[in-house]
Structure 1
Amino acid sequence: MQYREPGVLLWRGFTLQEFANQCFGNKADYGKGRQMPIHYGSNKLNYFTVSSTIATQLPHAVGAAYSLKMDKRDACTVTYFGDGGTSEGDFHAALNFAAVMEAPVIFLCRNNGWAISTPISEQFRSDGVVVKGQAYGIRSIRVDGNDTLAVYNAVRAAREMAINEHRPILIEALTYRVGHHSTSDDSTKYRSVDEIEHWRMTRDPVDRFRKWVVNSGLWSNEDESELRSDVRKKILHAIQVAEKLEKPPLADLFTDVYDRLPENLCEQERLVRDTIKKHPQDYPSDVPV
C-alpha cells in the first residue's frame, strides 16, 4: 500500500480510532509507535503496512498474489503507486515477475502528473504508464482518475479478470495533484497557479461525484452538512482518546524481529536505558522505560 489510500482502509472497516492511534503512536497502535504517521496497516483487514520507500510494495504484492494462486484462493492483491514510482527498478521487476508467473495482482497507478516537482515529461517518453504494462505482456487500461464511477468499474472488472483468469492487470488512473506534495513543498515554484486552479475548478473528483449523486436524488446539501458535522465530531473524539492513551514501552523498540534478541540488540537496549537514566530531561516522560 501507499500513504494515499486511507479510503481503502475505511471501506474495509478500519475505524477512525484506529487511524488516530496510529498517528499518535500510542499503545493501541498496531505498529507500536515504530512507524511514521499515516503508515497504517491491519493484519485483520489484509492491509499491508505502508512503507516510505517508493515502489518497494510492488514486488511484495506480486509475491502475495502468487501465494494466493498457489493456495488456489479466489482472491487477488491490489497495490497502489504513483507515476514517480514507475521510475523505480522495483516497478519493472514487479511487472515482469507478475507477467511471467501469471500472478493475480492489480497494479493501480495514480498518474497525477507530478513526482513531487518532477513532471512526467521529465520521467519518461512513453505514452503514459499504460503502455509499460502492455510492454510486459500485462493487460492494461487507462481511465479518468477523477471520475469515481469510471475508476470503480475499471477496478471491479480488473478484479474479476485477475481472479477468474489468474493474470495481472494494470490500471492507469489519470488525475492531478492540486495540493502541495507536503507541508515543506511549495508547488507554485514549479507550476503555475492558473494550472492548479483550472484542475481544482473543472476536474475536482469530489465535486463531480457530488453533482452526480445530487442530480440522481441520492444526496443533498443538508445530507452533506450533517455528515461533515458528524465526521468532525468523531475525528475530534478519536484524537482526544488517542492523545490520552499511554505510549508503547521502550522495550518495543527491539522486539518483533528476532525470536531471541541477539547480543548486539541487548547491548543497544542497555545503552539506551543507561542514557535515559543519565539524561532523563532529554527523553519523553510519557514513554514507559
Structure 2
Amino acid sequence: MTNKIIAVQGNNLNNLNPLTDTSIFLAKSGENRGYKIFYYEPENLSIKNKKVFANGSFIKIDHSKKKFFKIVKTSHIDLSKVKFILIRQDPPFNLEYISTTYILDTIKNKVRVINNPTSIRNISEKLYSMKFINFMPDTIFTKKVEDILHFYKKYKKIILKPIHSYSGNDIIFINNKLNKKLISKFVKKHGHIMCQKFLPKIKFGDKRVFIINGKICGCISRVPKAGSILSNMSKGAKPKLIKLSKKEIKISKIIAKDLMKEDIYFAGIDFIDEKLNGDINVTSPTGLKTFFDLSNINLADYFWKGLRA
C-alpha cells in the first residue's frame, strides 16, 4: 500500500554519514513505525500526465553495518500516493532546489510534504532572520563593498557569509587589515551577503535549538575545534548537551510561533552568546541523531508522533 510509504528526497545515499545524518535517523524511525522508505534524489523528479513521479529505491536501514542501507528494489512511483514526503537535500538554495519545490507544490494538497515546499522556497534561511534582527548581533545585508568597509571600521572584527550557502562553507572572518580586493571578489562571486559583528564567545560553542511542530524540543552546543570559528560539526566542531537560558527560550518561542504561521514543521535555530546568529535552518535541519547520542532522547519519534504517523 503506497499510503504506508515515506518518500525521502535527499542527497546520494553513498555520501551520507549514518552516525550523524538526520535524514537517515528520521527514515529509520519511520521504518520502525511500519513504513516503507522510498529514497530518491531531486534530479529524479518528473511530471508526466499531470502526475509527479520519482525514480528511486525502496531501502532498508541498518545502522550496525558499515553500508547502512540495503536496496530492496528500484521503482518509479507516483508521489501523490505516498503518506509523507521529506525534503532533505542539502542546500545550496539554487534554481534546481527551487524547481523541486515548484514540482512538489503541485501535490502538497494530496500528500504531506515536510517542510512545505512553498514555505521553504519563500524563506531564505538568512534573510528570514531580518524579522528577528533585534535579537541578533549587529548585521547588515549588502553587496556594496563600501558598506562592508564602513561596517569593518566600526567593529574591527566581522563575519561575512553568503546568503545561500550552508554548513559553514565560504564564511570569511576578518580581524586584521581588510583586503578590499578580496571583499570585491567575494561579493562578485556571491552577490548579496550577510555581514555580521563577530561574537568572540563562539569559542565556547553555539547552541542549536530543535523546533518541531512549533515546540522547543531540545538543544545541543557545538564547540569549534582549536583555531576555528566554525561551529559546524562538518567542520570539526564537537557537540555537547547544554541548556537554553531564559532569554534564549523566549526568543526561540517567538521564532517557533512564526515558523508555525509559515507552515514550517521542522527547523533549527542557532544562538551565540544569547544572540540569534541569523541562520534559521528550514531546508534540511540537522542534529537529531547527535542529540539522541548525547541524551538518549529520540526526537525522530516525536517528529512522527506530531504527524500522527
Report if TM-score (shorter chain) is over 0.5: no
- TM-score calculated relative to the size of structure 2: 0.27
- TM-score calculated relative to the size of structure 1: 0.28
Q: Say which one has the larger Rg.
A: 1
Q: Kindly indicate which of the two structures has a greater share of residues assigned to helix.
A: 1
Q: Kindly indicate which of the two structures has a greater share of residues assigned to strand.
A: 2
